[in-house]
């Protein structure tokens, strides 16, 4: 067997594999001999079928199969030995005139080569890492929400601005019929609130859905309409009032604190606010980190310049998926996935050059820490090392879980690396302002 390579350019190459009879004949003979032992052909006893007949019936199929096995094995070893970093998989060049009756064969494979490039981690312009804080307004709102949640419902005769209302939204023509409970402050627009204030049980109020709530998604909650229908929905609905209550706030006392966090964990309103702030900012930190990860990813893609073997990748995409694609479909798919391909290459280089690979011991420790946190949520504060190891072993025996946890751990490793190596600046921002700026 002889393998040669010719580089078309820095990103494309053709590998030629020449196979002679000596490479495959022994393997083909062995397979045919095994066939002969087990072949059931009318007129011959099992194991006594003439080899010439076995070759005539199975010879070409066995030859093709063994040659293909040789090819796959040879190409795989060649890529490893030559340390070739390829994109996609080698693509065999079509050979319509291949003569399987010959003793020797030659096959050609197209390769898409990974580009050479350098990653510049520190840009001139600093990337912002947002430190999201819970401000006094948010903490006080959360305290009030908890007081409402654990407070008492007091029946009212008529709706006022502090009422909690239960009623049925309906529009027969549009198929809307849903009973919902909401506070009056959920309703937007003076015209709408004016219609509701003063209404009593049994009253039917006609409301327009456009601008009824701050967010069209609330229509999904209160009217039970589909997501696509909720956006821009502009119809009239009847709201029949069935219950009116006012929620009396729960006292900020030890009884409430114990209900929320367990006996004597929190003993004052000040401690409650401190706990709300700490818990909230712990969650916000994850959102700030995710924003940082996204921004660093965008920076790296934009600042790291290199070409890709686009034509090869589009050709590879035509046959690599579950469903074959034509040229136009592959071109469209490539354009959608090009950024992702670029970042995979950049990320791979960063991981390799900085030894950030996920090792099994790292994964095991990460899984055990995650399990420990989950057990603490259910009151199991001091699990033994053996308990943690046994649960981790069960989780890590599942390949899907291994893949999921490995991706999480790698993201964490990269995030920690970026925090120390990328040019960053920290900006303090309230959660409300963070949401308005990036998600509104």
Q: Is residue 101 part of a domain?
A: yes
Q: Is residue 35 part of a domain?
A: yes
Looking at the fold, whether 102 and 167 belong to one and the same domain comes out as: no
CA distance 214 to 212: 7
CA distance 273 to 142: 9
Q: Is residue 157 part of a domain?
A: yes
Placement of tokens 């009239």 in the chain: 236
Looking at the fold, whether 109 and 213 belong to one and the same domain comes out as: no
**Is residue 130 helix, strand or coil?**
strand
CATH code of the domain covering residue 370: 1.10.3120
pLDDT at 268: 96
Prediction pTM value: 0.77
Which residues are within 8 A (CB) of 438 and not within 5 positions of it... i.e. 6 or more apart? 291
Contact 235, 153 (CB under 8 A): no
Looking at the fold, whether 285 and 400 belong to one and the same domain comes out as: yes
Q: Is residue 353 part of a domain?
A: yes
pLDDT at 440: 63
Looking at the fold, whether 280 and 222 belong to one and the same domain comes out as: no
Task: Go through 252-291 and write b for each residue having 16 or more CB atoms within 10 A of its CB, e for each that does not.
Answer: eeeebbeeeeeeeebeeeeebbebbbeebeeebeebbbeb
At CA 367, angle to CA 362 and CA 372, rounded to 5?
125
Q: Is residue 81 part of a domain?
A: yes
- Cβ burial of 176 (10 Å; 0-12, 13-18, 19+) is buried
Looking at the fold, whether 295 and 428 belong to one and the same domain comes out as: yes
Chunked mean pLDDT (size 10), the chain, 440 residues? 94 95 91 82 77 86 93 94 94 88 92 96 94 95 92 93 93 93 90 93 94 89 91 92 93 94 92 95 94 96 96 93 91 95 96 95 93 83 88 93 94 96 96 86
Which residues are within 8 A (CB) of 230 and not within 5 positions of it... i.e. 6 or more apart? 216, 217, 219, 220, 223
Q: Is residue 412 part of a domain?
A: yes
CATH code of the domain covering residue 205: 3.10.50
Looking at the fold, whether 300 and 403 belong to one and the same domain comes out as: yes
CA distance 279 to 137: 16
Looking at the fold, whether 287 and 422 belong to one and the same domain comes out as: yes
Residues forming beta bridges with residue 247, ordered by sequence position? 153
Looking at the fold, whether 237 and 292 belong to one and the same domain comes out as: no
pLDDT at 368: 93
Overall domain count for the chain: 3
Placement of tokens 């818990």 in the chain: 279
Q: Is residue 409 part of a domain?
A: yes
Which residue, of 113, 138, 166, is where some domain finishes? 113
CA distances from 378 to 374, 375, 383 (A): 7, 5, 12
Looking at the fold, whether 367 and 423 belong to one and the same domain comes out as: yes
Looking at the fold, whether 97 and 63 belong to one and the same domain comes out as: yes
Looking at the fold, whether 199 and 233 belong to one and the same domain comes out as: yes
Helix extents (H) in 186-326:
190-196, 218-222, 227-230, 254-261, 269-303, 310-320
Q: Is residue 264 part of a domain?
A: no
pLDDT at 290: 95
Q: Which tokens sit at 125?
A: 């312009």
Looking at the fold, whether 106 and 160 belong to one and the same domain comes out as: no
**Is residue 106 helix, strand or coil?**
strand
CA distances from 415 to 111, 165, 285, 292 (A): 33, 46, 12, 8
**φ, ψ of residue 180 in degrees (nearest 5):** -140, 155
CATH code of the domain covering residue 29: 3.30.70.1050
Contact 293, 347 (CB under 8 A): no
Range of the domain at 91: 2-113
């Amino acid at each position: 067997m002889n393998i040669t390579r010719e580089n078309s350019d820095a990103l494309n190459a053709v590998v030629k594999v020449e196979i002679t009879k000596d490479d495959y004949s022994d393997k083909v003979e062995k397979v045919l001999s095994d066939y002969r032992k087990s072949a059931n052909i009318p007129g011959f006893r099992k194991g006594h079928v003439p080899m010439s007949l076995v070759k005539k019936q199975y010879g070409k199929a066995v030859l093709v199969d063994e040659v293909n096995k040789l090819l796959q094995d040879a190409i795989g070893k060649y890529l490893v030995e030559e340390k070739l970093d390829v994109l996609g998989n080698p693509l065999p060049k079509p050979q319509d005139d291949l003569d399987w009756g010959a003793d020797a064969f030659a096959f050609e494979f197209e390769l898409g080569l990974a580009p050479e490039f350098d990653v510049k981690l520190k840009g001139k312009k600093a990337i912002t890492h947002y430190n999201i804080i819970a401000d006094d307004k948010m903490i006080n709102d959360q305290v009030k929400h908890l007081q409402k949640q654990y407070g008492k419902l007091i029946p009212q005769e008529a709706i006022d601005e502090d009422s909690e209302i239960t009623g049925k939204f309906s529009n027969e023509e549009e198929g809307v019929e849903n009973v919902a409970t909401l506070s009056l402050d959920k309703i937007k627009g003076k015209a709408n609130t004016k219609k509701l204030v003063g209404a009593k049980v049994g009253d039917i109020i006609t409301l327009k859905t456009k601008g009824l709530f701050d967010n069209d998604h609330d229509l999904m909650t209160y009217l039970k309409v589909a997501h696509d229908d909720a956006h821009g929905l502009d119809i009239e609905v009847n709201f029949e009032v069935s219950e009116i209550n006012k929620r009396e706030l729960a006292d900020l006392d030890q009884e409430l604190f114990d209900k929320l966090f367990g006996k004597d964990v929190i003993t004052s309103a000040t401690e409650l606010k401190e706990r709300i702030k700490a818990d909230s900012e712990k969650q916000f930190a994850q959102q700030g980190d995710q924003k940082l990860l996204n921004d660093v990813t965008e920076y790296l893609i934009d600042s790291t310049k290199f070409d890709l073997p686009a034509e090869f990748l589009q050709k590879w995409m035509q046959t690599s998926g579950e469903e074959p694609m034509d040229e136009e479909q592959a071109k469209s798919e490539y354009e959608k996935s090009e950024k992702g391909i670029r970042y995979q290459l950049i990320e791979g280089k960063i991981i390799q050059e900085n030894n950030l690979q996920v090792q099994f011991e790292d994964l095991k420790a990460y899984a055990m820490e995650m399990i420990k946190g989950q057990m603490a949520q259910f009151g199991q504060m001091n699990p033994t090392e053996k308990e943690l190891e046994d649960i981790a072993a069960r989780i890590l025996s599942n390949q899907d879980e291994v893949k999921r946890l490995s991706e999480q751990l790698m993201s964490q490793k990269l995030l920690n690396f970026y925090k120390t190596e990328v040019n960053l600046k920290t900006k303090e921002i309230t959660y409300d302002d963070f949401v308005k700026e990036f998600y509104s």
